[in-house]
Each structure stands twice: as C-alpha cells, then as structure tokens.
Structure 1
Amino acid sequence: MLSVKDITIRYGPCDVLSNISFDMREGEMIALLGPNGAGKTTLIKALNGILPVAEGDILLDEKPLGTYSRREIAKRIAVVAQENETKFPVTVLEFVLSGRFASGSAFGWESEDDIESAKRALSECDLADFGSRLMNELSGGERQRVVLARAIATDAKILLLDEPTANLDLRHQAMMFRLVRERCDSEDYSAVVITHDLNLAAEFANKLLLLKQGTIYVAGAATDVLTGPNIREVFGVNTLLDINPASGNVRVTNVF
C-alpha cells in the first residue's frame, strides 16, 4: 500500500528526516516511537503528501505519492492529527460528514450512505449520542474521538494517527487502539500510529519503528525494539522490562 524509499525531508538547510525506508502492507499496524523532536509528526505529514520529500520517494499503490491529487489521496489516506480544536459551531455529525467529501458528496448534500457511515463511525467511537453536540463544546478527549470517527467514516484504507490517545482516559485509549487493530485485522486497513505509550504499541502494533534524531534507530517486532539498551540509547532512561502474562508481549513496568 505505502512504500517509503530512502526519503530525506528538509526544513531549510536542515535534514529533519534522513534515509527513512519501510513498507506498510495491508492489515499492518505500525507504531512510530521516539522522543519529542525525533521527526515522527514530520513523517506522518510526508506520508499524507503535505510535506515534499527532498530525496527518495513515497509510493502509494506502487505510484509516486506526488502524482495523486489531494482528493485522490483523501480517498485512500485519512489522518488523525494532534491539533483538533474546532472553534466554529459545527455539530459533531456535520464534522464527521465533512470527511466524506472525497467520496463525491459536497458538504450539505450528503447521501443516506454518507449519513449512515458517519453514524456508524460515531457509534464505534462511543459517541452514538453526540451527533447534535457542538464541536467547540466538547472536551479534548471527546474531540479526539470525533476526529477518529471522521477518519473512519471516510472509508480510506490507510489511517495515519498522530498521538491519537492524547487527552483520552484509560478506557478510551484502549478502545482507540483496539478499534484500529480490528479494522486492520478484519477489513484490510493499514495504520501508522504515533504514540508515547510503549505498552500500547507492544500490545497492538505488528511493527515498531523507533526514531532517533530523524533516522530509524531500530525497527521490528516489539521484542526486538523494546529492549533496555534501545530504550536507554533513544530516550536516555533505564527501564524494567517483563512479559505481560495476559498477552505474552513485552511490557515496560518501570522507568528510572
């Protein structure tokens, strides 16, 4: 679906990302990990075609991403960004419906299918009763869930999520990761998720990419990436690691 080939991204004369390469396949959930400033959000923007690459290429369905129009990209890729504050008095249902524009509907002329998709997405995000609420009256966590619902309602098969669990309580953090995981497993979605929660990444992602200063320091399964030396080198902290007895996945139990 997405193939990243040796890309470098620059802001002015500075390389923000260097020599990044990885493939994302159908049904795969990739967690992007790393400290602040490692280049995670920049990578998400590049994968959505918002930022141009200085070197290398990003292929979407084996075609360069830059050859697609914004509408064509929106049909295939949906984004949940960090900043989701909405100052305009638009209802939750209207906001989610606005994600359907790439399907051919103009805002205000939604079809029954559009409305059904929006309501289904809201229900999946535990927001079934929120349709008439105003976006600018919601809490940060509620808005974050609405933004995920909007992404799901687009029916785009690739989801890019930039810290989607920010502002969420424990229940909804697990819900969000589980929902994306289920979409990948049952409907051939693919997802790239930025998270600072190493345990959620270990539980739900197929592959982890650990970034350090704009490069991929290590990539692979959680057991290969989340090791004491790797975490110490990238984050500068010591950790106590064990195995989650419920899932058998690696678990960070303490940081010191």
Structure 2
Amino acid sequence: MTPQDFLAARFEDHRGHLRAVAYRMLGSLTEADDAVQEAWLRLARSGADGIDNLGGWLTTVVGRVCLDMLRSRRRRGEEPWDDRLPDPVVAREDGGDPEQQALLADSVGMALLVVLESLSPAERLAFVLHDMFGLPFEQIAPIVDRSPATAKKLASRARIRVRGEAPTPDPDPAGQRRVVDAFLAAARGGDFDALLAVLDPEVVLRADGGVLTGGVRVVQGAAAVAGRLDTFHRMATAADTRPVLVNGVAGLVNRVDGAVFSVMSFTVADGRIAAIDILSDPERLARLSL
C-alpha cells in the first residue's frame, strides 16, 4: 500500500462522520458530498504529517468549507434557499441502509433542518458542531473568527431558536407510525373530523413543488391544514403510498405510475402531527436515492 493509499484509507474511516456534519450544515446532500470531497483534496495536498487528531482536523476543515459555502449562498443570492426544503434522507423502516443510518445517527428531522436554514452561517456552525457533535468552543472559535466566548453565544442564540421553533419528535417509532397511519386513513376516507383529530392545533405544513410552483408554500394551523383534505384525499387514493423513515421520523413515499411523486415527512409530537414537510419537486426527487 502506497502512502497515498494509506492516507485515503484513513480518510474513508471518517467519511461518514464528515458527511453527517456537512449535511447538517448545508441541508443539501450534493453540497455535503462536495464539502467532504474538498476536505479530502486539502488532506491529499498537505498530508497527515503533524496532524495529531485527524478526525478533529478533518471536522474543522469541513466546518470551514461549509461556512464558506453558506456565506457564498447569501452573497450570490442565486439559490432561493429560503424558498426550498432541505434534502430529505429516506430510509427503510427496518433500518436496512447503513449509510443512511450513519447520516442520521442523531435526530435531525426535517423540521429541525428548516429552522437551521433560518440561522446565520456562524450560528448554524456553532450549534451544529457543539450541540450535535460535541466540539469544544475553543475548536469552533477559530473557524468563525471569534473568541470561544462569542462562539458559545452564537450556539446559545441558535439553541433558543431551535427550541422555540422545532418540535421535538416523539421517541417511539411505532407511535409515530400509528399517527401517520391515522392521517392516511382519514385522507383516504375524506374524513375531515378524523384528520383534524390527529393534527396539533399549531401544525405547520410546508410543501415544496420546486421553482415552477413558487417554492415552499406554508400553511399553519390545524383547521387550515385539514382544509387541504381534498388534496390529501387525491394523493392517498391515486398514489402507491409506502411507509418509510424520512430523516429518522415516520414518512411516506408516494408513487404514481411507478414514478416518485412526493416524499412526506411527519413530525409527531405529543401524539399529534406538529409538522408536515412535502417535497414534490420532480428535479430534486430524481436526484434522491429512493
């Protein structure tokens, strides 16, 4: 084995962790892979000599790359990131996909990712690296060009936003699925009252059909979401609907004539649906591993 092959093998040991960091930072699977690839290129150029903690070094590099990518998004204003849902990670309910499970080792539901999209790049990095991956603020501070105390404040502000806006999913997968099954039964039966009964009073529905449909459409409140019953009924009766995990919580993949029509994620909190996130953008669905 050549020294470069040995270095590549060491890098592969960290790839899953680095991809998980980048996905939480960027909300995009393609950009996450780009960030991880950039970290490899930097390691290949510099080598590992003098690096005592390769995992920490690579995490720092990926953090810097993701921070630059987030800042670049805002400067360009080319991608309507405020008007699109993050990429969903879809897995079988039996947990049979090790790569997907590694990507979602910690809970990172769609509702949480949506809130992360609203943070400043520095806040997002401080929160993700500290609260999700346990990096000390002394290691985070140089990445955001701040002091450790300021990095701690950034994470604190982000934490307050997350706790206030991202509902915490119920921990029981079977309980989540029962609620989603009740939603689906109400939709198939066209039963408004039954649908209303499974919705949290403050439920938020976000539907992303892509740029051609105007980006993300948001509906808030149980009555308003249940008012979309006709749409849910057409979906439930016309589509081949399969249960899946979407970002670690109960979800559905809907196919029409064999083609994926939409991916739905349900955040179930306290026994009711607190958030529904629907991706039906054909271009983005085509890029997902389904």
TM-score range, shorter-chain basis?
0.3 to 0.5
Q: Which has the larger radius of gyration?
A: 2
Larger RCO, structure (CA 8 Å, separation 6 or more): 1
Structure ranking higher in helix proportion? 2
Higher strand share: 1
TM-score after normalising by structure 1: 0.32
TM-score, structure 2 normalization: 0.30
